[in-house]
Chains A and B, each alone.
Chain A
Amino acid sequence: DTAVSQTPKYLVTQMGNDKSIKCEQNLGHDTMYWYKQDSKKFLKIMFSYNNKELIINETVPNRFSPKSPDKAHLNLHINSLELGDSAVYFCASSPNLAGGGNEQFFGPGTRLTVL
């Protein structure tokens, strides 16, 4: 049973397109996150949601719009894709808000390639 799942695993698209990545967790956690991992392996948080409410938006362009229909799902929609958006995007969850000291459970990642 997958705890945190993401779809799709790979996403190849053209510049200017709009795409979505879906995330679901079956752990009953209150908090979910989106991270971006660049080619140098830096893993940086983009958003965090707690009980469907946006908590953190870390200076992410407004082309990125997360949406949480319920606390088990956190989807990421990206408008007008740019070359620099190419990266691996990870969804994660934790029992409650993690200040770095709470265990987070990560999904398998979505590799986005913008051509």
Chain B
Amino acid sequence: LAKTTQPISMDSYEGQEVNITCSHNNIATNDYITWYQQFPSQGPRFIIQGYKTKVTNEVASLFIPADRKSSTLSLPRVSLSDTAVYYCLVGPRGGNTGKLIFGQGTTLQVKP
């Protein structure tokens, strides 16, 4: 499973756009990029997944450059309730679970 690197923490203010970048230099051809969100005292929950270019859903957008060695999770107009830890995970669909390590994640603090 490709190792990922994210900033440990980020601060933002309500109404701003937040971009969290994840580096995954050793990403394999069949790997997907998945982001999870974890609120305090809760389990992580799936936000978005992509393979290349751009993916958008009602919660976030995911930008993946052509070389796929990094990805950026974009949260539009954050609110206080977006304060959470965000994890980037890289791996194939199906097959051997391998070493599913979520890493330390990025702790996003949204301020009023």
Genuine A/B complex: yes
Q: Which residues of B contact A (CB under 8 A)?
A: 1, 31-32, 34, 41-46, 49, 85, 87, 89-105, 107
* Cross-chain contact of A106 among B44, B99, B100 (Cβ < 8 A): B44
Q: How far is the CA of A58 from the CA of B101 in the complex (A)?
A: 11
Inter-chain contact B104/A101, CB cutoff 8 Å:
no
Which among A11-19, A36-44, A77-85 touches the partner chain? A36-44
* Cross-chain contact of A41 among B32, B89, B92, B105 (Cβ < 8 A): B105
Q: How far is the CA of A96 from the CA of B95 in the complex (A)?
A: 9
Inter-chain contact A101/B97, CB cutoff 8 Å:
no
Q: How far is the CA of A52 from the CA of B100 in the complex (A)?
A: 19
Query: Which of chain A's residues have a CB closer than 8 A to the CB of B31?
Result: 100-101
A56-B96, A97-B95 known; 19 other A-B pairs, CB under 8 Å? A33-B100, A41-B107, A42-B101, A43-B87, A43-B102, A45-B97, A45-B99, A48-B97, A48-B100, A98-B93, A98-B97, A99-B93, A99-B94, A99-B95, A99-B96, A101-B31, A103-B34, A104-B46, A106-B44
